[in-house]
Amino acid sequence: MVLDSDPVAFSNWIVPALLSFLTSAATLCAVALVGGYLISAFRYGPVGGGDVIYRMVLGGVRDLIALSPRRILALAWLAVQESLRRRVLVGFGIFLLILLFAGWFLDTQSNDPATLYLSFVLTATTYLVLLIALFLSAFSLPADIKNHTIYTIVTKPVRSGEIVLGRIVGFAVIGTVLLAVMGLFSYVFVIRVLNHTHEVDVASLRPVPNDPNGDRAGRTSLAQNHRHTLKIGPDGTGSTDMVQGHFHEVTAQESGDKTTYVVGPPQGLLTARVPAYGDLRFKDRAGKASDRGISVGKEWKYHSYVEGATLAKAIWTFSDITPERFPDGLPVEMTIRVFRSYKGDIEKGIRGSLVLKNPRTGRASDEKFFIAKDFYIDFLKIPRNLTDPTGKPLDLFDDLVSDGQVEVWMQCLDASQYLGVAKGDLYLRSRDASFTLNFIKSYLGIWVQMLLVTSLGVMFSTFLSGPVAMMATLASLVLGFKAQFVLGVAKGAIEGGGPVESFIRIVKQQNVTTQLEPGLTTTVVKWADSVFMSFMTAITGLLPNFNQFSNVSYVAHGFDIPPDAVLVQVFSAAGYVIAALAIGYLFLRTREVAR
Amino acid sequence: MNQRQRFIRKIAYACAIAALLLPLSWLSQPATQDGSKGGLLSRMRQEYSLSQADLGEIDPASETIKLATLGMRGVAANILWEKAHEYHKEEDWAGLSATLEQIARLQPNFVSVWVFQGWNLSYNISVEFDDYHDRYHWVIRGINFLKEGTQYNRDEPRLLTDIGWTIAHKIGRADEHVQYRRLFRDDDEFNGSLPRSQRDNWLVGREELLKAERIVARGTPLKGKSPLLFYSRPPMCLVNYAQTMEEEGTFGEVAKNAWKKAGDSWVEFSNRDLPTQYNVLIRLSEKEAYSKKADEAKAELDRLTPPGLSDKIAAEKRAALSDEEREAYDTPAERRTKEQTNLAAAVGEKLMVHAIDIADRITGDDHAAAFKAAEDGGQADAMARAIDIERDIVNYNFWMLKCQIEPDDDTLGARKAMFDGDRAFSLGRLEECFKAYDEGLKLWRKTIDKYPSLLKDTEVTEDLVISIGHYRSILHQMDRQFPTPFVLQDVLDADALQKGPQLPAGEAPATGTGKDSAGAPENDPAKAAP
């Protein structure tokens, strides 16, 4: 799995995040008060304006204190009923249709079906639920205002804040129920689609040459576009190799004098690894410390390469290494990239070695050799009892761990060949969490996104007409998903310039890397783009980054979603919901209809 | 706007929609079984075979995905291409593969998608993997992708050509060809019920290329493919098949038959009518006939030309030059200005005495005969030159010669002996290696004596020079002298000539009496002959 940024610990995040939120809120309040006062002063004079603002603030505080859960729930129930009237269940029908016909559109020859199917169900659910939330939230309030049905509510003793909050809660309830049902169907779909078995191709079974145990090797039948090779012991039990991220256990069943082999269900396909990541640093070919390894000229700079048969090394420092956490030694998993500067022996892989080192004393273990398995997760168990290079025995925790820290030094052994690594490419698989729970956590991420869209939709609908509120929410959604792109264009990191420049390039069919001809036109175009992109950057900064709430890649690649990440997502979303609620309340209060 | 206005507006919209639907319905009226050919669109679809049923399989998934984009197919395809590029960059092969499937479903009849992405999978993505098993898997993924494309575009020779090329060339010529060919033979999923003995990538690839030929023979145009190259590939597959067979150690009758079959295929190819850029059909086999005809016409014209006429015409042409032209032409090439160089080239053209110039000046009874000879000669010469150009493109002369030489018993014997020698060399069996090389070199002598043009073939000379290097090394290890004169000295000389001077200035060039540069440093004759 690509680890774009370090996982954030909730305890380290919450205090600065809270301070930042309070500062932003205070600033916005101050700006709103000053702006409001200026407008009111213009309309009613300095004293009258001040009075309006005073009453507004006082009313706001009163409304906040007097928020009634009963009224909010009643309004939420109305929103639920309205959603049902507007045939929200059609969305669920569409989801079922997508699942039913998914097999038509998905890559049946995929090497990694678990990743493919999980990504598919999670992405389809996300888009569908967000669209439903968008349409429900953006059109509800404007339709009520337009049809005057809002008067049946505002004439009752309800407050503007309760109307806004009631809608958000109501639509969120509908979205939650939909999500729960979709999640259940998705889970069953994935389990059913991925479950398969094979038959042992008995004719292919041959004794393994020079095997003292008398094992036999052969292959299985073809199923789901793959087959396995397998090894069976004299008692008829054995297992297959790892293909498409899973293996099968094989057992023998005797009936009379006939032996039949039974291949079990796939194992290791749906996992939730809990990785312990280390900090990565490098040493260059001369043995000097370096932040990164060598670039082998790839466009994607994620991996950094270590040159073979030199002093170059990749060093991970792991913390919190205790016998309680790893009683049997260190379970190392790694995905190491290979770059050959010459072909060498094609039949043989590129060799590397791992050494465990005490960061304080420098004591090191003997080398553990491996052949780099490009693009596959390789597993290496480092036992507790080790030896040093001279053959003296070492205890992992007593001799190599200091203050809970241990270093893993990786080296490439073949001259002029390179091993590519990134921080997340070597980790300790501390344990496996429940896949089902992980799946639920990924749905929690979708739920958070749904809540955000609902809040934004309701907020925009307090001061815009239905279609415009929908477009505004959609724009927020697109900007939220494409925040990185917008910022990249604004900073010039993405070639081709801003909207005006790229439009000119499209019309003139000009490559993004060629420079525009210097002159007045180019200057004006660049200026216009910089103004527009500054505005877009500011807007993007205010909106939630929706990618931050997505946990699809964790689940699809078989990694546990860190609980801290879930907490960060929930609290971040809460901040945005509160902001949307406050803005929606203010706008609704200023409208004639809600007074 | 009051209710009445709203109602009127809605009625106006409905009328406009109906007004637009009427001509659309007329244009797109379907053909019926009672003989009606339908509307214009239907007739055009029929005429250009554009209906989905004519193009290939009707795939509900593809149709659904097209409909689901609600007319935004172009935008969706664009986004998917961007995604595919991003996945490729970030080495997410599962994502890339899934996206390609979606693109293909979205644009199933856009042949370039299949061609481009099939190539991408087989050639670009396969090499990203370190393990050759994975590489092979992605080569096959690319081929299967192209095969999937033929289901939607059944009459598309480009896809079949690419399938044939990838099976033949990628599997047979990649750095990993030894491993790929082995995996291909073992690949039950890809080859299905094809007997193991016929699972040779060159033969399987050729079958796909022949399928493409059959489609073209039915009248499908060859868009963007050179007919010459298109038709040269199946015979080349047979040549490569025979060659690979020998490289892998199969000789005797099997190899002889393979070479004969390859030769027959080249003859068949050379007798095929091929369109050219000159808008004439040619046959590669007819070059000699045209050359002969041109020579005969020239001889006839020479016979009819009065003595001195050619020189007279040349003098007249020179006299007609302007002062400026004459000065440019007479100035030595190294002293000409840029303008003079251009002018001199034009003057050179002007001064040429063509057959037609001569025929024009022959008067009396011979005029008509001279004119005919000049015209026939010119046409025959132009055809011979056109064929020669096409022959050079596919290296026709070389492959024809090879197909003649290789089935010869001496050549087969020579190749087998050298193969045995190379194998013994790699196993360190010196005596066995020496004997095999000795026999092989003698047989090569006989072959080269029969076909001296082999010395011009760098592929043959380079192969031989490597084996001679091994031979020299063996002699050195056996404490024997490199023989003088050497039986294949002309091969060493030809190789040295082809490669040019190899040693730094001041050192003797590598020619003659075993002092060549073919061997490794330890094979230096100075060390080999103490």
Close Cβ partners of A374 (under 8 Å, ≥ 6 residues apart): A336, A337, A338, B129, B130, B131, B134
Of B90, B102, B179, the CB nearest to A346: B179
- Is A380 inside a domain boundary? yes
C-alpha distance from B120 to closest chain A C-alpha (Å)? 16
Cis peptide before B485 (omega within 30 of 0): yes
Domain assignment of residue A207, yes or no: yes
Closest to A123 measured CA to CA, from A442, A433, A484: A442
Which has the closest alpha carbon to A123: A478, A556, A462, A574?
A556
Cross-chain residue pair A349–B61, CB shorter than 8 Å: no
Cα dihedral sign for B195, B199, B203, B209?
A: positive
- A106, A299, A372 member nearest B130 (Cβ): A372
Q: Which of A109, A300, A372 sits opposite B89 (nearest CB)?
A: A300
- B-chain CB neighbours of A116 within 8 Å are 94, 98
Tens of pLDDT along chain B (530 residues)? 577 888 899 899 999 998 988 888 888 777 666 666 777 877 777 777 666 666 656 666 667 777 777 788 889 999 999 999 999 999 988 889 889 888 888 888 889 999 999 999 999 999 999 999 999 999 999 999 999 999 888 888 999 999 999 999 999 999 999 999 999 999 988 998 899 889 999 999 999 999 999 999 988 888 878 899 999 999 999 999 999 999 999 999 999 999 999 999 999 999 999 988 878 899 999 999 999 999 999 999 999 988 888 889 989 998 988 989 988 988 998 888 888 899 999 998 888 888 888 988 888 888 889 999 999 999 999 999 999 999 999 999 889 988 999 999 999 999 999 999 888 888 888 888 889 999 999 999 999 998 888 888 887 888 889 888 888 888 888 888 888 889 899 999 888 887 776 555 444 434 333 333 333 333 333 333 32
Q: Choose among B94, B95, B105: nearest Cβ to A105.
A: B105
Q: Are A16 and A8 in contact (CB under 8 A)?
A: no
Separation CA A348–CA A344 (nearest Å): 8
Amino acid at B207: E
Instruction: Give the span between the Cα atoms of B257 and B266, in whole angstroms.
Output: 14
φ, ψ dihedrals at A559, nearest 5°:
-115, 145
Nearest-Cα distance to chain B for A368, in Å, is 21
B181 vs A: CB within 8 A: no
A343 shares its domain with A411: yes
CA-based diameter of chain B, in Å?
117
- Residues A379 and A252 both lie in one domain: no
The answer to whether B189 contacts chain A (CB < 8 Å) is yes
Q: Which A positions 360-379 lie with beta carbon below 8 A of chain B?
A: 372-375
A54 vs A409, higher pLDDT? A409
Report chain A's mean pLDDT, rounded to a whole number: 90
- Confirm whether A178 is domain-assigned: yes
CB contact (8 A) between residue B105 and residue A350:
no
Q: Please indicate, yes or no, whether residues A134 and A248 belong to a single structural domain of this protein.
A: no
ipTM of the complex: 0.85
The pLDDT assigned to B56 comes to: 58
Measure the N-to-C terminal CA separation of chain B; round to a whole number of Å: 113
User: Under a CB-based contact definition with an 8 Å cutoff, are residues A402 and A361 in contact?
Assistant: yes
Handedness of CA B6, B10, B15, B19 (dihedral sign): positive
Three-state secondary structure readout of A33-51: HHHHHHHHHHHHHHHHHHH
**Residues A234 and A313 occupy one common structural domain:** no
Residue A9 counted as domain residue: no
Q: Is residue A22 part of a domain?
A: no
Total domain count for chain A? 3
Looking at CA atoms only, how far is residue A302 from chain B in angstroms? 8
Domain that holds residue A254: 200-263
Interface mutation target, options A244, A374, A419, chain B, most CBs of B under 10 Å? A374
Question: What is the 8-class DSSP label of residue B283?
Answer: -
Q: Which residues of A touch B105 (CB under 8 A)?
A: 105
Contact B189 A110 (CB under 8 A): no
What pLDDT does residue A214 have?
A: 84
Rounded CA-CA distance B271/B396 in Å is: 12
Q: Considering the domain boundaries, does residue A542 fall inside one?
A: no
Tell me the two tokens of residue B161: 């050509």
Min CA distance, A550 vs chain B (Å)? 17
Residue A67's pLDDT is what? Answer: 84
A364 and A349 fall within a common domain: yes
> A374 and B129 in contact by Cβ < 8 A?
yes
Kindly state whether residues A418 and A455 are assigned to the same domain.
no
- Choosing from A231, A263, A295, the residue where a domain stops is A263
Q: Closest to A300 (Cβ–Cβ): which among B91, B95, B175?
A: B91
Q: Do A111 and B90 touch (CB under 8 A)?
A: no
Looking at A242, A263, A284, which one is the last position of a domain?
A263
Distance CA A158, CA A145 (A): 16
User: Among A107, A302, A373, whose Cβ lies nearest the Cβ of B98?
Assistant: A107
The helix/strand/coil state of A239 is strand
Is there a contact between B130 and A338 if contact means CB atoms under 8 Å apart? Answer: yes
CB contact under 8 A, B90 and A302: yes
Residue B402 one-letter amino acid: K
Closest CB from A111, A300, A350 relative to B93: A111
Size of interface A-B (CB pairs under 8 A): 62
What was the pLDDT predicted at B67?
Answer: 73
The span from the CA of A239 to the CA of A248, in Å, is 6
Task: State how far the Cα of A547 lies from the Cα of A449, in Å rounded to an integer.
Answer: 9
Instruction: Report, as an integer, the average pLDDT of A280-294.
Output: 94
**Exposed (0-12), middle (13-18) or buried (19+): which is B47, by Cβ within 10 Å?**
exposed
Rounded Cα distance between A579 and A164, Å, is 12
Distance from CA of A108 to the nearest CA of B (A): 9
For position A542, what pLDDT does the model report?
86
Asked if A255 and A278 sit in the same domain, the reply is: no
Find the CATH number of the domain harbouring A298: 2.60.120
- Flag whether residue A346 sits within 8 Å of chain B, measured between CB atoms: yes
Closest CA to B518 of B487, B492, B489: B492
Residues of A in contact with B129 (CB under 8 A): 374-375
- Shortest distance, CA A387 to any CA of chain B (angstroms): 32
Q: How far is the alpha carbon of A341 from chain B, nearest alpha carbon, in Å?
A: 12
B106, B131, B133, best to mutate vs chain A, most A CBs in 10 Å: B131
At A46 the pLDDT is: 87
Domains and CATH numbers, chain B: 3-49 (no CATH), 75-281 (1.25.40), 285-393 (no CATH), 408-528 (no CATH)
Query: Whose CA is closest to A463, among A259, A228, A68, A160?
Result: A160
Residue B157 to residue B178: CA distance in whole angstroms: 29
Instruction: Provide the pairing of β-strand A393-395 with A289-290.
Output: unpaired
Q: Are B98 and A302 within 8 A, CB to CB? A: no
Residues of B (59-88) whose Cβ lies below 8 Å from A: 60-61, 64-65
How far, in Å, CA of B391 to CA of B382, rounded? 14
pLDDT of residue B58: 61
The CA distance from A227 to the nearest CA of chain B, in Å, is 10
CA distance B125 to B283: 40
Judge contact between A356 and A374, C-beta under 8 A.
no
Residues 6+ apart with CB under 8 A from B457: B398, B401, B402
Length of chain A: 595
> pTM of the predicted model, to two decimals?
0.82
Same domain, A181 and A223: no
Q: A105 lies in a domain?
A: yes
Q: Is A432 helix (H, G, I), strand (E, B) or coil?
A: strand
Strand A304-307 and strand A351-357: the pairing is: unpaired
DSSP helix/strand/coil, B56:
coil
B65 contacts on A by Cβ (under 8 Å): 105
- Identify which of A308, A410, A304 has the alpha carbon closest to the alpha carbon of residue A349: A308
Amino acid at B206: R
Residues A285 and A426 occupy one common structural domain: yes
Amino acid identity, position A60: G
Sign of CA dihedral B220, B226, B232, B236: negative
Under a CB-based contact definition with an 8 Å cutoff, are residues A196 and A226 in contact? no
- The distance of B174 to chain A (nearest Cα, Å) reads 12
Contact A2 B90 (CB under 8 A): yes
Let me know the angle formed at the C-alpha of B256 by B251 and B259, rounded to the nearest 5 degrees: 115
Q: Which of A243, A263, A283 is the last residue of a domain?
A: A263
Asked if the C-beta of A104 comes within 8 angstroms of chain B's C-beta atoms, the answer is yes
A554 Cα to chain B: minimum distance (Å): 14
Indicate yes or no: CB of B89 within 8 angstroms of CB of A299: yes
Instruction: Say whether residue B136 is in contact with chain A using an 8 A CB cutoff.
Output: no
The helix (run of H) or strand (run of E) holding residue B294 is helix B287-304
Chain B contact present for A302, CB below 8 A? yes
Considering the domain architecture, whether residues A180 and A84 belong to the same structural domain is answered as: yes
- For residue A394, what is the enclosing H or E element? strand A393-395
**H-type alpha helices, B451-509:** 458-477, 489-499
Asked if the structure places residue A369 within a domain, the reply is yes
Distances in whole angstroms, Cα of residue A368 to Cα of each of A318, A388, A397, A519:
18, 11, 17, 62
Tokens of A229: 């090779």
Nearest to A105 among B65, B100, B129 (CB): B65
Are the beta carbons of A536 and A486 closer than 8 angstroms?
yes
pLDDT the model gives residue A97: 82
Contacts of B142 in chain A (CB under 8 A): none
Q: Which residue has the higher pLDDT, A57 or A449?
A: A449
Q: Supply the DSSP string of A434-492, one letter for each residue.
A: -HHHHHHHHHHHHHHHHHHHHHHHHHHHTTS-HHHHHHHHHHHHHHHHTHHHHHHHHHT
> Is the CB of B489 inside 8 Å of chain A's CB atoms?
no
Pairwise CB contact (< 8 Å): A111 & B129: no
Measure CB to CB from residue B175 to each of A302, A343, A374 and give the nearest one: A343
Higher-pLDDT residue of B425, A326: A326
Q: Which residues of A touch B93 (CB under 8 A)?
A: 111-112, 375
Nearest CB partner across the interface for A105, out of B61, B97, B141: B61
Distance from CA of B220 to the nearest CA of A (A): 31
Question: Looking at the structure, do residues A206 and A79 belong to the same domain, yes or no?
Answer: no
Is residue A240 located within the same domain as residue A258?
Answer: yes
For A136-255, list the strands marked E by DSSP: 200-207, 216-220, 229-232, 238-240, 249-255
B-chain CB neighbours of A349 within 8 Å are: 130-131
Name the maximum alpha-carbon separation found in chain A: 104
Answer yes or no: is pLDDT of A187 > 50: yes
* A83-87, A320-324, A468-472: least confident range: A83-87
Interchain CB distance below 8 Å, B130 and A104: no
